[in-house]
Amino acid sequence: MDQPVIPLRPRSHPLLRRVRRRHPRRRLTALAAVAVSLLLTGCTGAEPGDAANGKAAAAAPVVSGPLCDLLPSGSDPGNPAALAGQPPEVALQWLPVLTTFDAAVRASGLAADLHSGSGLTILAPTDDAFAAKFSEDNLDQLLLVQQDTLRGLLREHLVAGSLSLSDMVAAGGVTTLAGTKVTVTGGGGTARLAGQADTVCADYQVAGARIHIIDRVLGKLPTTGGEDGHRAH
């Protein structure tokens, strides 16, 4: 049977247009080129809705945070129930605020590393977080030239073990795959990481992993961007 084809992401979704309003055309073109070229090398999987076909969902996954109301829900493509059981790299494509993080994962060659027998926790910064952290020139260099640096940055956002938000808060902290200890405080559906980043929609359950969307980029790379994600001159 022919395998279903996964679209890059639902680009026409109205939420995607809203959250990408700050991103100039030139940088988006560069990100799209990276994502397309790498996807063509062998990204495979099922449509998010296929995982639930023929099964009665015992309970829909619950996500929490102030951004969740603006993300796909109900029967929208990319809703939490549709993403449950999907490979992490597929699920990332359906979350419209994570286009930069998704492109970075593919450009760095880390997509395969998102699969771990013991599970993985993904702390995924939003597009706005990347725009605030890096200038367009800086981000283009990371995506297209400095893949080693990019891999190091992404490992600052990956934690061994599939940990829920409550697991991280109860532990009081986590250690990233880069070896950085990150404090975790909070409760009531949100948490603060390293005293600087907040979870804005946490607890997406995907195959062998949890995805927590955060509003800041972690790690020690210098800040070169601004609120509008301007291009350096």
Token duo for residue 112: 């395969």
pLDDT of residue 118: 85
Res. 50: pLDDT tops 90: no
Answering whether pTM is above 0.95, one says: no
The Cα–Cα gap between 70 and 67 comes to 6
Q: Does the domain spanning 14-48+65-214 belong to CATH 2.30.180.10?
A: yes
Confidence of residue 26 (pLDDT cuts 50, 70, 90): very low
Confidence of residue 171 (pLDDT cuts 50, 70, 90): very high
Nearest-Å Rg of the Cα atoms of the chain is 17
DSSP labels, 96-120: TT-HHHHHHHHHHT-GGGG--TT-E
pLDDT of residue 117: 78
Reported as a single tens digit per residue, the pLDDT across 75-133 is 999 999 999 989 999 999 999 999 999 999 999 999 988 987 789 999 999 999 999 99
8 A C-beta contact, residue 129 and residue 86: no
8 A C-beta contact, residue 86 and residue 48: yes
pLDDT of residue 152: 97
Crossing angle for the helix pair 99-108 and 25-39, to the nearest 10 degrees: 50
Res. 45: pLDDT tops 70: no
pLDDT of residue 9: 44
Confidence of residue 48 (pLDDT cuts 50, 70, 90): low
Give the DSSP letter of residue 20. T
Res. 3: pLDDT tops 50: no
Cβ of 45: how many Cβ atoms within 10 Å? 18
DSSP labels, 156-223: TTEEES---HHHHHHHTEEEBTTS-EEEEEEETTEEEETTTEEEEEEEEEETTEEEEEESS--SSPPP
